[in-house]
Structure 1
């Protein structure tokens, strides 16, 4: 055993030389092999034994769990072990954890994906110089599984049933317990829910009870999932009995768990299965069952409740789900057209569903983009209808991307539909895929099996384009702390690393920098409580000037944008912000940008995923407007979640908040919000002479863009500290903690009573400081109306992208009510004329009620002034 005396020793060089120098004086020295036959090992942060090779950095970068190194005889393939160790550290999960799962599906997936990714890496080695450059530096990125078994599902016409018993695990309840179970295909319930009898907990509740479902085994769809909920039964208060209503019992949810009926090899499950349950319930409507939840068991087996179920053996031999062979296939047409083109998204009546199903071949030939409507009305609990639908899908024309995105929703779990959908998405260009990557990663959570078409599609494209690979890595890595997805995301990350060893080293450098930022942030949170800000800032600089910090924070690709090289950290320009979590403000010298500074904000303690989504949508709006020749000078700055409530935000240099501009031009916080000349005077000071007119035009265009964007997305909590202006004149919004109409309230009253922010000082700038410059103002109004109508044309795209993000679990995007806000703001049920009239009313309201915004800003300024 060796206890390292110096933190800066290179483990494989410094320490090994010291040990060997001392070893030659020991009596058994002549029995040792050559020094190369031995290697130091330690226990690393992922609880894995790690060998320390020449390629490793200092011990302080490796961060052994204990300050003890062990010298052992080298075993096995050195390169292979080093790569495995690096992958473990990079993805935040030891690869030995995947081995310890002992799951055949995991093992098959790892072997298959390893081969898939290593083949991609081998092909990349054969690329021409030009193709290799395009992979590493992609231009203009911004604006199969085993064949199905044949033959019918030949099983007796029996109903499916399971036997259930319970191991209490983490449940402590003196109340009667009940298990509820339901069979689902996507969001559709296949038959009536069933419930167990109540069991009073004495020591261990045991049901050993059979739950029968009213559906034949031959009618089970391939992607059927069995959902369980455990709840306690509470008697309602006695006074309820005095009412006319019958006395009821209340259900107190305790835990839930889901499991697939068929395994990943298409075989109907049999035998006993122990399911460790989840205790966090979705927010929506207090439902007990959670079909959209993961089908993984809770890995925290010690504290989780455990439900033991037994699938019966229906035949002596295994039962497999069949493949479906390819099949063949007026006033009714007119009626069909009206149903399919209906503007409102109301559910179809039964006779309309019958007509749609009857005319499914006409839909394929004449209205192929209406596939989603046909799939929704398909009876997935009737195997004849399923067979006909799957057969029809074999001859369905490829869908446009917009319609294919809709089919990624949880409502369409069938694997044939999934395969068809991914095939339609293969035509996405790299910049289009980049635009939708956030949603595609979230949709992975809907997948029931590890090996799926979406995973292979994403890995394929990521290994062909380094920038897509970079963001795929961080979108996955940022959720590795979530137990429900850690296995799936970890396996995909492992596969990506094996297919891109060189990129892995670049990502490790970024990971080291983020670790140093987190350590620095933790240090400042403690220091700022004991010292003044100047003193804490000085301590921050002393810390950052250590060699370990300077090395980690220099010469790395920026995680926000890998085309930007953060060459050298400018310590004297770095600081921290005053908000509760003390975000770091770090400035780098960027040599490739002529030595200009690049700023990033590191946040630790705030969830940036909602900001990421909002900025993605603003960037998409910018792209759609530019496609129509309308450049509204938007500033969709970079934002990236990198871990559990940690992430980075791009600093928009040479800009300031409205609040600061107003306060600097006023003597008192109370009057600052009403100083209508402050913004114009600030722009004049930054844009002297003829440059002012261009700055005002930049302000006008960007103000129009953000008025429309914030209205459509329902962005709330708008005040003068989260609206900024660049010195060139461009206005932009920051901090998107509330959207989709989730506005702040005080004493139950909505504090934000305007559709969007359009204050008189904004109008004063737009009108160039002239009171009656109506021509300039009407141009601004025209920009707003054009921008709004362009977004309306793409309303379905926004609906689909937000619907797919429901998988992310954001508090303000959890159910259909949240999506309804978008339908209303874009007036999707109305004609173009009605929608334009609707927007004009909102525009006039924003202008008329702008004084309320100023009062809110006044309150914000005074409150902020009092805090300082």
Structure 2
């Protein structure tokens, strides 16, 4: 082995002694329960079971061996890479896969129930979060949810055992996702808790008593004039009972240091205020309560308020079931130091430090009581109006060490729990007004004025009879701060006709938090076929963030459908697991993953194989990054040595076995048989993605390629490709097949994931560069693309290829324009040898076009260059009939998307809290409304699109200039 190669392997061994190219034998320290310590060399590729056999044989020569008893009654423990204890119950795992933090294994005696412990161990490894972490959570909601899911999972597995072979195969390996005929639509009344009554006697008002910062105290409160409650539902006698609480002092907290460093504020003096608001979705139920300014200095550890009462102008009986109590703590500065940079020269007087949200009612519908500690999240918004964050999580910050602790006391008012009552059933009827039609046809982003809301609410029964799809607008017109309106809405909801599943998706948005509304939406979703559910699964996982309680209708629906169809279960698993590292959803997603695994035990080993394979690919990627750092001065030497190290690693038996014979995470219907090591490589970009090639026995010797990325967030690409897939479906429903290539893309972890390699395809840049000896001139060779297709197709095949190119070019022109996809250089557009054009790499969407020195680099609405037209017209000059057909395809495709504009807006709105860099607010989605010309007639919209089409043709020379610059830069890098 070359000396440089040895150095590279030494680096890897130092980086991770139990992975990659470590020695074949590892010295492990074994700690026995008898107090005996044994050091032993074991094969790094050995299974835990084999290592235990080796230890048992060695231990026979040590004292106290008979006291150990049976070998099967013991198992190993270690400290894993996350620095927590891990029980190695699953002894089929290899030591190199376990990767303990240090090569120390402790032998411990097993408790009873080995089968259950083994299953728990497998699930913990699979979901990426040990179940002991969930066991340690002292939260009754978590405990109740796990108990319920455990029972349901057992019932599910019992049903699986009773299935016939055919039924089991259909559930797990169905060749089609379409289920039997959908169930009939019913309008039955929801009988859940219909007869629930709360009978409590009160003689004092309902209130919150809270110190809003680090030290809460129970304090005396002023009583309003309130009639004593009779023995009826508490909410029917709360008309004048106001909501208020007190704030006192807080101790200095570390986040102020971050605040002053960030804002360069005057540290000599500042004051602190507390802002609190009650929200139903994004609707503020009443005016926020704001404290007076505290007095104090930075050096002081305590701040006090003169007026410590915060009061809300709302009656308790008018609080909706899903009311959120949102807090923000912010500093008020007297002076702000001037910034050297003009970019940050203006700092707002108000600077938020921590924020936190909580529900007023708990998961059982009971008014919260007692002391609650909320650890705050940090943010620094620029505007006072944004301080309260109702769309933010209701989970508290798990990183408690540096988080401000907000202690809230919910007082107890009675020896009986206060439970939110069921709505009364009341109806009224009004005359139909024609003005409703215009309002109901507006897109979801259109704001309703107060007069329009009043009109909709007045004519709610006409909406029910004539505009059932108007339910979202009716819900936005409800006065959620009036319990009478809520009661009438609930009664109306019981008889509301079912919406189509596509229309019902909107009701899962954050704007519709009401429990009964969301349950109604899920009932509508039950009419979805499995194929349609798969299409929208990405959004349905994201809107789980909007569910304040773990046990909800959406969670049950997703688990039920996932456990009934393995392909849905596969993608539900990966969508959840890829975000398990996010603190705001970590517990919620872990609970759902645990429930899925317990109800789909046969699927565990299949998924476990995929998780292990991805772990191996990550190790290879880390090896490559280390190698490129060491040899950064010599690119040629770097490429040679690093690729050799990569292949050496992939040839190791541990890697070969783990990476072979597994279901592709991108498509569980595809079996990846074995790696073609000679054709594997890594790509020359910052994160060094792996290009892995698989032999595939099922495809007559053809190979399959996947790209593994570690360090890039693929979720925005995944969303864009999902929307492209939906566009393709909508066009085909309209008898328009535009030959879209929505290749597979899947996020699998924290900034990690897989991308499908499209076979027999090359980039426009490579096609142009291979046709010219001069990189600068390559972009202007209009014959390059047509000649490339001619080389690969002849006769009728060439005609078919040009037709494929024409259709696909039309589809991507319209799609990239509607979605505002930017950064369209010649390496981000590819062509298959069969003629299909397609786009890749969607790092910029919704009109976020790249610029340099303040100048837009992309000046066209979509890419339509003259060399594309040259191919469409088969090399003929002037605009021919072929070009006319192409333009007609574009216009037809655009009109189809316009008809489904509300659906696209809904899907993007449901992704707002996913944390995508270019989809953070409703303002971002406004681009879709503008590009689809929603609110205009088809004629007006078509006129707008034709103007954009002409602009794309007229300004195509700017695209060629950008491509020339890209080709030159690429040529210089190589």
Moved over 6 A (4+): 142-146, 282-286
Residues 142, 782 of structure 1: alpha-carbon distance in 2 compared, 3 angstrom cutoff = farther
2-structure distance, mates of 1:182, 1:238: 31
Partner of 1:74: 110
Query: Are 1:195 and 2:290 counterparts?
Result: yes
Q: What is the CA-CA distance between 1:353 and the residue it aligns to?
A: 2.2
Matched residue SS, 2:301: coil
Distance in 2 separating the partners of 1:343 and 1:225? 27
Of 115-124 and 520-529, the range deviating more from structure 2: 115-124
Q: For the residues of structure 2 that align with 1:51 and 1:294, how far apart are their CA atoms?
A: 32
Q: What SS does the corresponding residue of 1:586 show, helix, strand or coil?
A: strand
Report the counterpart of residue 386 of structure 1 in structure 2.
486
Distance 1:280 1:121 in 2: 45
* Correspondence for 1:181 among 261, 266, 276: 276
Aligned residue runs from structure 1 range 438-517, under 5 A: 438-517=538-617
Contact between 1:758 and 1:847, CA under 8 Å: does it hold in 2?
A: yes
- Deviation, structure 1 residue 533: 1.1
- Structure 2 contact 322–361 (Cα < 8 Å) conserved: yes
1:262 is aligned to 361
**Contact 1:51/1:82, CA 8 A, preserved across alignment:** no
1:220 paired residue number: 319
Change (3 A) 1:197 1:669: same
Using the alignment, how far apart are the partners of 2:169 and 2:938 within structure 1? 46
Residue of structure 2 in register with 1:295 after alignment: 394
For 2:197, the equivalent position in structure 1 comes to 150
* Distance change >3 Å, CA 90–CA 285, structure 1 → 2: farther
Inter-CA distance 545–146: structure 2 relative to 1 (3 Å threshold) = farther
The number of residues matched between the two structures is: 861
Contact 2:544 2:554 in 1 (8 A): yes
Q: Is the Cα contact below 8 Å between 1:357 and 1:378 reproduced in 2? A: yes
Q: Is the 8 A contact 1:166 1:307 kept in 2?
A: no
Quick one: distance in 2 between partners of 1:443 and 1:4?
51
1:526 is aligned to 626
Partner-residue secondary structure (3-state), 1:258: strand
Moved more, 803-812 or 123-132: 123-132
Distance of 1:28 and 1:707 partners within structure 2:
77
Partner SS, residue 830 of structure 2: strand
Q: TM-score, normalising length from structure 1?
A: 0.95
CA RMSD, 1 decimal: 2.3
1:108: which partner in 2?
A: 144
Query: What's the CA shift for 1:6?
Result: 2.0
CA displacement, residues 623-679 of structure 1 (integer Å, 9 cap, x when unaligned): 111111111111100000011110100001111000000000001110000000000
Q: How does 1:239-254 map to 2 (within 5 A)?
A: 250-254=349-353
Indicate yes or no: 2:942 matched with 1:861: no
* 2:620 is the alignment partner of 1:584: no
Query: Are 1:150 and 1:322, in contact at CA under 8 Å, matched by a contact in 2?
Result: yes
Asked if 2 retains the 8 angstrom alpha-carbon contact of 1:657 and 1:722, the reply is yes
1:263-311 CA-to-partner distances (Å, cap 9, x unmatched) read 1111111222211001146799971111000001101111111111222
- Say whether 1:163 aligns with 2:246: yes
Q: CA contact under 8 A between 2:178 and 2:529: conserved in structure 1?
A: no
Q: CA deviation at 1:701?
A: 0.8
Which one of 159, 175, 178 corresponds to residue 139 of structure 1?
A: 175
Distance verdict in 2 for CA 1:56–1:852, change over 3 Å: same
Deviation at 1:773, TM superposition (A): 5.8
In the aligned structure 2, how far is the partner of 1:52 from the partner of 1:94?
Answer: 11
* 8 Å CA contact retained: 1:661, 1:678: yes
Alignment of 1:791-830 (within 5 A): 791-830=897-936
Q: CA deviation at 1:810?
A: 1.1
**In the alignment, is the contact (CA less than 8 A) between 2:423 and 2:486 conserved in 1?**
no
Q: 1:607 touches 1:646 (CA, 8 Å); kept in 2?
A: yes
The 2-side partners of 1:21 and 1:440 are apart by 53
3-state SS of the aligned residue for 1:6? strand
In the aligned structure 1, how far is the partner of 2:147 from the partner of 2:622?
A: 40
* Cα distance, 1:16–1:654 mapped onto 2, change above 3 Å: same
Within 5 Å, give how 1:721-760 maps onto structure 2.
Answer: 721-760=827-866
State the shift of 1:582 in Å: 0.6
Structure 1, 748-757 or 23-32: larger mean CA deviation: 23-32
Cα deviation code 1:4-59 (max 9, x no counterpart): 51243645543333333344444544444233333333233455544445742211
Which moved further from structure 2: 419-428 or 59-68? 59-68
CA apart distance, 1:169? 4.4
Distance in structure 2 (CA, Å) of the matches to 1:793 and 1:225:
36
Conserved 8 A contact 1:344-1:829 = no
Give the alignment partner of residue 323 of structure 1, picking from 413, 422, 446.
Answer: 422
2:464 to 345, 364, 386: 364
Q: 1:4 to 1:85 in 2, by over 3 A?
A: farther
Q: Does 1:840 align with 2:946?
A: yes
Q: Which residue of 1 aligns with 2:438?
A: 338
| Residues 56 and 210 of structure 1: CA distance in aligned 2, closer, same or farther (over 3 Å) | farther
SS in 2 for 1:789: helix
Listed as ranges, the gaps of 5+ residues in structure 1 are: 240-246
Change (3 A) 1:331 1:361: closer
Question: Which residue is equivalent to 2:661?
Answer: 555
Once the two structures are superposed, residues 225-270 of structure 1 have per-residue CA deviations (whole angstroms, 9 ceiling, x without a partner) of 000111111125699xxxxxxx997111111100000111111112
Instruction: Give secondary structure in 1 for the equivalent of 2:366.
Output: coil
CA–CA separation in structure 2 for the residues paired with 1:77 and 1:226 = 43
Name the SS for the 1:468 alignment partner.
helix
Q: Which moved more, 1:805-814 or 1:259-268?
A: 805-814
Please report how far the alpha carbon of residue 87 of structure 1 lies from its aligned counterpart in structure 2 after TM superposition. 1.2
Residue 858 of structure 1, CA deviation: 0.9
What corresponds to 1:679 in structure 2?
785
Match of 2:729 among 623, 632, 635: 623
Report the Cα offset of residue 204 of structure 1. Answer: 3.6
Q: Determine helix, strand or coil for the equivalent of 2:747.
A: strand
**How far off is 1:210 after superposition?**
3.2
Unaligned ranges ≥5, structure 2: 1-30, 32-37, 180-189, 199-232, 258-266, 339-345, 632-636
Q: Aligned partners of 1:190, 1:377: CA distance in 2, in Å?
A: 13
Q: Contact (CA 8 Å) 2:350, 2:383: kept in 1 or not? A: no
SS at match of 1:162: strand
State the alpha-carbon separation in 1 of the partners of residues 90 and 387 from structure 2.
54
Of 731-740 and 315-324, the range deviating more from structure 2: 315-324
- Asked whether the equivalents of residues 425 and 491 of structure 2 are also in contact (C-alpha less than 8 Å), the reply is yes
205 and 17 in structure 1: CA distance in 2 versus 1, 3 angstrom threshold: same
Deviation at 1:3, TM superposition (A): 4.2
TM-score normalised by the chain length of structure 2:
0.85
Aligned equivalents of 1:602 and 1:407: distance in 2? 36
Please state whether the residue corresponding to 1:295 is helix, strand or coil.
coil
Q: 1:399 to 1:497 in 2, by over 3 A?
A: same
Q: CA deviation at 1:839?
A: 1.1
Other-structure match for 2:166 = 130
Aligned residue in 1 for 2:403: 304
Counterpart Cα distance in 1 of 2:96 and 2:694: 23
Shift in Å, 1:421: 0.7
What SS does the corresponding residue of 2:713 show, helix, strand or coil?
coil
Aligned match of 1:244? none
